[in-house]
C-alpha cells in the first residue's frame, strides 16, 4: 500500500510539472524573462585551451547569470567541498575515484539552489548534440556516443543584493551552452558572478564577480576559473582589495583590520561581524573554483591537486571555508598531454599561484565618482517623480522639492543606501542620472523614451538593478 501511494505522488508531481512547463508557466518570476544576454563588454581573459569551451549567459532582470564549462572530448574530474553549506549537483560521481573521462560539463550559477536548474538545461543540450552527430547505428549506453551527459553544478547565493527571485534556469543554461566558445572568459561582474560581492567581516562589502587566470608550462596548460562571493579578497602584500581590477586601489591589511576591530570593541565586535556571515537558511558566502589542465593525471593526483589548490586559496580569501560558506572546487584534466618534465607536485604548485591570480582578476573597476553637479530644469525633474518598484517589498519613491529630487524607500526593505521611510536628497550627475551623497554614491538613472519615463536603473553598470515605474 505504501509503495502504491509513493508512485501516485510522483506521477502527480511529474504531471503537474510537465503541464506547467508545456504551458510556458515556470511557477516563478522567471516567466517574465526576456532573451538572455550572451555577449559582453569589459575585461576578458583570452587563452589557448582547445579541450575547453565556455559559455556565459545572464538575465538582466535579476541581475543574475551562469557560466558553463564544456569539455567536448570528455574529461576526468574530482571535487573538493570545503564550505559548510554547499549547493551542488552530481558531485558523488566525482568522489568515487573513477579514472574514466566521462565528465562533460561544469556549471556555475547564481540564484542559490534555484540556479542548480541550469545543469539540466546543459545536459539536455548535450543530449541533443549527441543525437544530431551520432552514427546511424548508435545505441544509448554509458560508453557509446549516446551516453547520458555527465554535468556537475555548483551555485552561489546572489539573492541578498537584489530584490527578486529571478534565477538562472534550464533555458539560461541552454543559452550559455549554445553560445560557448574556446579561449574566452569575461572577467568581473558577469555570468555566475553577475551580482556577487566580497568583503566579509573586514569592512563594508564590495563588488566582485568571476575571475580567471591561465599559464602554460611547456605543453602543459593550466587554467583556473572562480566566482567570488565570500570573504575579503587579499593581495600578495596582505592588503584587502577594495575595487581593483585595473588600478592599485587597496584597503588596509588583514592585520590592520583585526587591530581596528579589537581596539574599537574587543573580541565582541569581531564576533558580531563574523556572525553576519553565518547561515540564516541560505549559504551567503560562497567561492566556486574550477581548475583545468590538459596534463594527464590519475584520479588520485587530481584529488590532491584539488586539496592543495583549495588550501592555498586561503591566502587570497579571508575568511574562507567557514560554516556559512558553500565553497566548492572542481579539478579537471582533459588527459591530452604527458609532460614528463612536469610532476604532479609541480602542477599543484603552479595551480595554487594561478588560482590567486584568478581571485584578484575578479574585482571590477572602481566606478568614477562625481565631483560636481549638473543643473536640471524643474520640468525635467517633474518627469522623474513617481514610484519605482524593484520587487517584493522594495520600492523607491521619487519627488521634486524645489530644484532637486528626493528619494524615499517605501517598502519594508532598504535599497542599499536608501533606508525605509527616510528622505534622501539626490545630487545631479547628469540630466538623467542622480546619486546619493555617500561613500558609494548610490545612483539612479531614469529610463524611457518620447518624454515618457518607464523605469530606472539603480547603480548603472555591471551590477545594475532594474526598477519599473508603477505610478
**Could you write out the DSSP letters of every residue in 241-276?**
ESS-SSS--EEEEHHHHHHHHHHHHHHHHHHHHHHT
Is the pLDDT confidence value at 4 over 70? Answer: no
100: pLDDT confidence band, cut at 50, 70 and 90?
Answer: confident
Quote the mean pLDDT of the chain.
85
Predicted local confidence at residue 112, as pLDDT: 94
> Could you say which DSSP state residue 83 is in?
S
Is the pLDDT confidence value at 431 over 90? Answer: yes
**3-class SS at 159?**
coil
Is the pLDDT confidence value at 456 over 60? Answer: yes
Predicted local confidence at residue 450, as pLDDT: 86
Is the pLDDT confidence value at 469 over 90? Answer: yes
Residue closest to 151 by CA, chosen among 212, 109, 195, 210: 109
Alpha carbon distances (Å) from 165 to 30, 159, 446: 8, 7, 23
- pTM given for the model: 0.87
Rounded Cα–Cα distance for residues 46 and 57 (Å): 18
Is the separation of the CB atoms in 203 and 251 below 8 Å?
yes
Q: What pLDDT, in 10s, does the model give residues 302-320?
A: 999 999 999 999 999 988 8
Q: Could you state, in order of their start, the residue ranges of all structural domains in the chain?
A: 33-360, 378-469
Please compute the mean of the pLDDT values over residues 60-64 and round it to a whole number.
94
**Distance from CA of residue 267 to its chain's centroid?**
32
Predicted local confidence at residue 443, as pLDDT: 93
Rounded Cα–Cα distance for residues 357 and 371 (Å): 33
Predicted local confidence at residue 8, as pLDDT: 35
Is the pLDDT confidence value at 396 over 60? Answer: yes
Correct CATH for 33-360 of 3.40.50.740, 3.40.50.720, 3.60.70.12, 3.40.50.1980: 3.60.70.12
Is the pLDDT confidence value at 281 over 70? Answer: no
Cell output for 387: 514610484
Rounded Cα–Cα distance for residues 186 and 361 (Å): 10
Residue closest to 325 by CA, chosen among 148, 187, 198: 198
Please compute the mean of the pLDDT values over residues 103-130 and round it to a whole number.
97
Is the pLDDT confidence value at 271 over 50? Answer: yes
Alpha carbon distances (Å) from 58 to 48, 55, 105, 135, 447: 24, 10, 18, 34, 21
Please compute the mean of the pLDDT values over residues 107-116 and round it to a whole number.
96
Predicted local confidence at residue 237, as pLDDT: 87
Cell output for 453: 519615463
CB atoms within 10 A of CB 260: 15
Please compute the mean of the pLDDT values over residues 368-395 and round it to a whole number.
92
322: pLDDT confidence band, cut at 50, 70 and 90?
Answer: confident
Predicted local confidence at residue 3, as pLDDT: 43
243: pLDDT confidence band, cut at 50, 70 and 90?
Answer: low
Is the pLDDT confidence value at 150 over 70? Answer: yes
Is the separation of the CB atoms in 105 and 127 below 8 Å?
no
Q: Is the dihedral of CA 183, 187, 191, 193 positive or negative?
A: positive
139: pLDDT confidence band, cut at 50, 70 and 90?
Answer: confident
Query: Pick the residue with more confidence: 433 or 146?
Result: 433
Beta pairing class for 151-155 and 103-109: parallel
Please compute the mean of the pLDDT values over residues 367-378 and round it to a whole number.
88
Cell output for 412: 519594508
Q: 388-401 as b/e, with b when 16 or more CB fall inside 10 Å? A: bbbbeebbbbbebe
CB atoms within 10 A of CB 408: 18
Predicted local confidence at residue 247, as pLDDT: 39
Q: Is the dihedral of CA 282, 283, 289, 290 positive or negative?
A: negative
Alpha carbon distances (Å) from 132 to 136, 149, 151, 345, 408: 10, 14, 19, 41, 55
Rounded Cα–Cα distance for residues 348 and 94 (Å): 19
Q: Which of 8-17, 350-359, 386-395 is predicted most confidently?
A: 350-359
Is the pLDDT confidence value at 2 over 60? Answer: no
The catalytic residue among 67, 286, 322, 408 is 286
Is the pLDDT confidence value at 355 over 90? Answer: yes
Please compute the mean of the pLDDT values over residues 271-276 and round it to a whole number.
54
Is the pLDDT confidence value at 10 over 70? Answer: no
Cell output for 313: 586559496
Q: Which of 23-37, 195-209, 334-348 is predicted most confidently?
A: 334-348
Is the separation of the CB atoms in 298 and 345 below 8 Å?
no
CATH architecture of structural domain 378-469: Beta Barrel (2.40)
What is the helix, strand, coil percentage profile of the chain, to 5?
Answer: 25, 35, 40
CB atoms within 10 A of CB 28: 15
Is the pLDDT confidence value at 199 over 90? Answer: no
Query: Pick the residue with more confidence: 323 or 458?
Result: 458
Please compute the mean of the pLDDT values over residues 65-86 and round it to a whole number.
95
Please compute the mean of the pLDDT values over residues 63-75 and round it to a whole number.
97
Is the pLDDT confidence value at 426 over 50? Answer: yes
Predicted local confidence at residue 255, as pLDDT: 74
Is the separation of the CB atoms in 168 and 293 below 8 Å?
no
343 is catalytic: no
- Sequence-distant (6+) residues with CB within 8 A of 148 are 123, 127, 140, 142
Measured in degrees and rounded to the nearest 5, phi and psi for residue 149 equal: -65, 135
Is the pLDDT confidence value at 219 over 80? Answer: yes
Is the separation of the CB atoms in 69 and 105 below 8 Å?
yes
Amino acid at each position: 500500500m505504501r509503495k502504491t501511494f509513493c508512485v501516485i505522488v510522483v506521477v502527480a508531481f511529474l504531471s503537474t510539472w510537465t503541464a506547467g512547463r508545456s504551458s510556458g508557466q515556470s511557477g516563478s518570476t522567471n516567466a517574465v524573462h526576456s532573451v538572455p544576454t550572451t555577449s559582453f563588454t569589459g575585461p576578458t581573459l583570452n587563452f589557448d585551451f582547445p579541450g575547453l569551451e565556455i559559455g556565459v549567459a545572464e538575465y538582466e532582470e535579476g541581475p543574475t547569470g551562469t557560466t558553463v564549462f564544456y569539455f567536448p572530448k570528455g574529461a576526468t574530474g574530482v571535487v573538493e567541498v570545503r564550505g559548510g553549506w554547499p549547493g551542488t549537483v552530481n558531485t558523488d560521481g566525482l568522489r568515487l575515484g573513477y579514472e574514466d573521462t566521462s565528465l562533460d560539463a561544469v556549471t556555475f550559477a547564481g540564484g542559490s539552489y534555484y540556479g542548480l536548474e541550469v545543469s539540466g538545461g546543459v545536459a539536455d543540450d548535450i543530449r541533443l548534440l549527441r543525437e544530431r552527430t551520432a552514427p546511424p547505428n548508435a545505441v544509448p549506453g554509458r560508453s557509446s556516443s549516446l551516453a547520458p551527459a555527465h554535468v556537475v553544478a555548483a551555485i552561489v547565493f546572489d539573492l541578498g543584493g537584489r530584490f527578486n527571485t529571478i534565477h538562472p534556469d534550464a533555458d539560461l543554461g541552454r543559452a550559455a551552452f549554445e553560445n560557448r566558445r574556446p579561449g574566452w572568459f569575461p572577467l568581473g561582474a558577469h555570468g555566475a558572478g553577475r551580482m556577487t560581492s566580497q568583503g566579509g567581516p573586514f569592512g563594508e562589502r564590495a563588488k566582485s564577480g568571476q575571475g580567471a587566470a591561465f599559464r602554460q608550462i611547456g605543453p602543459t596548460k593550466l587554467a583556473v576559473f572562480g566566482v567570488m562571493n565570500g570573504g575579503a579578497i587579499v593581495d600578495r602584500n596582505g592588503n584587502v582589495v577594495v575595487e581593483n581590477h585595473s588600478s592599485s586601489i587597496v584597503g588596509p591589511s588583514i592585520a590592520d583590520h583585526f587591530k581596528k576591530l579589537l581596539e574599537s570593541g574587543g573580541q565582541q565586535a569581531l564576533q558580531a561581524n563574523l556572525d553576519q556571515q553565518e547561515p540564516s537558511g541560505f549559504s551567503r558566502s560562497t567561492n566556486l573554483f574550477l581548475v583545468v589542465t590538459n596534463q594527464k593525471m590519475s584520479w588520485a593526483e587530481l584529488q590532491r591537486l584539488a586539496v592543495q589548490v583549495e588550501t592555498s586559496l586561503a591566502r587570497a580569501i579571508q575568511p574562507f571555508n567557514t560554516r556559512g560558506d558553500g565553497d566548492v572546487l572542481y579539478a579537471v584534466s582533459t588527459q591530452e598531454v604527458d609532460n614528463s618534465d612536469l610532476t604532479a607536485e609541480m602542477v599543484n604548485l603552479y595551480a595554487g599561484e594561478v588560482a590567486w591570480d584568478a581571485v584578484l582578476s575578479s574585482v571590477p573597476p572602481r566606478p568614477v565618482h562625481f565631483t560636481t553637479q549638473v543643473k536640471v530644469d524643474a520640468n525635467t525633474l517633474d518627469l522623474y517623480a513617481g514610484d519605482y518598484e524593484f520587487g517584493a517589498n522594495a520600492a523607491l519613491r521619487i519627488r521634486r522639492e524645489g530644484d532637486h529630487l528626493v528619494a524615499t524607500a517605501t517598502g519594508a526593505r532598504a535599497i542599499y543606501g536608501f533606508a525605509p521611510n527616510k528622505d534622501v536628497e539626490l545630487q545631479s550627475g547628469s540630466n538623467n542620472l542622480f546619486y546619493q551623497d555617500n561613500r558609494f554614491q548610490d545612483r539612479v538613472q531614469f529610463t524611457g523614451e518620447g518624454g515618457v519615463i518607464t523605469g530606472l536603473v539603480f547603480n548603472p553598470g555591471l551590477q545594475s538593478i532594474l526598477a519599473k515605474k508603477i505610478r
